[in-house]
Amino acid sequence: MCRPVVVCAVLTAWALGLPVPVLCGGHLNYRPIIGVLAQENLDSDVNAQGSSYIPASYVKYLESAGARVVPIRINQTEEEYTKLFSALNGLLLPGGDVDLQKSQFSRVAKIFYELAIKANDASDYFPIWGTCQGFQLLTVLTSNKNLLTSTDTKAVALPLVFASGAQNSRMFKSFPKDLLHSLSTENITANFHRWSISIQNFTRSAKLKRFYKILTMNTDGNKEFISTMEAYRYPFYAVQWHPEKTPFEWIDKPGMVHTDAAIKASFFTARFFVSEAMRSQHRFATTTEEAKALIYNYTPVFKGVGSIFVQMYYFD
């Protein structure tokens, strides 16, 4: 087990943007397991085969970068989630369309968010990643308010507008220069959202300004909104766009991009988050418990070539 002083040194270097010392005499966790949170079914999914779901693209996204996945099912107890938290090396909050304050998705996310804050404060490294709805939920959990505003961004690919110094942020500093150039000049980030956190609402919130650093911005032509951010003191990251869609979703509609640069962006975001999860030393108590929890125990359902999600995992 790592000594607290060693982990503290890692967190300090990480927060300052310095080279991070190797954990525990060279032993990173090269078998990271990341939890993906399920959510209530979409009203439009009339053929749902369970009460909640996870799009398979998020699972493949993490697996493509060297992680395994455990589905976090809704409607379980806080005690069950606390036990699971101690076994996972990170959390991904996926996109979707549920109430960000009243849903089971938001209830469970809040439990994990608070556990992650407590753990990281105690030098127990635990990263969180939010995509689209997950991005939005992180702003709600941090500010204790829904500060989102409507934007015309339901199906459009955009270039990222980098904030000053953002290309040297924790998230982007390891990205190749040619990829950073593509991200800033090409329409390769897929946006499928009705709501955004505007620059105006973000800057008016003291809690959000203290907690998150803006990395990139975008506009729908009328409103500027935040498209990428990372927390200052915690390994929490969020993108309003969808890096997982590029290699794993195939519906033919505006906003879907499958260029080399877009696929490369997908991999580098996934690889970054998985590398963050490798810093977590959480473990399942036994290999039997681990095997029982993994996503491999479930079979994804093919939804059709015209579906917004090619495959879905369903849970009761």
Contact present, 269 and 172 (Cβ < 8 Å): no
Label residue 187 by pLDDT band (50, 70, 90). Answer: very high
Using alpha carbons, list the distances in angstroms from residue 147 to 136, 139, 196, 204: 9, 8, 9, 10
Confidence at residue 9, expressed as pLDDT on a 0 to 100 scale: 47
Q: Mean pLDDT in the chain?
A: 92
CB atoms within 10 A of CB 248: 20
Question: Which sequence positions are flagged as catalytic?
Answer: 132, 242
- pTM here? 0.91
Q: Which CATH superfamily is domain 31-315 in?
A: Class I glutamine amidotransferase (GATase) domain (3.40.50.880)
- Domain spans, the chain: 31-315
Pairing of strands 52-55, 68-72: unpaired
Angle between helix 177-185 and helix 260-277 axes, rounded to 10 deg: 120
**pLDDT, greater one: 12 or 39:** 39
- Extended beta strands in 212-307, E state: 212-219, 224-231, 236-239, 301-302
**Which pLDDT tens digit goes with each residue over 141-173?**
999 999 999 999 999 999 999 999 999 999 999
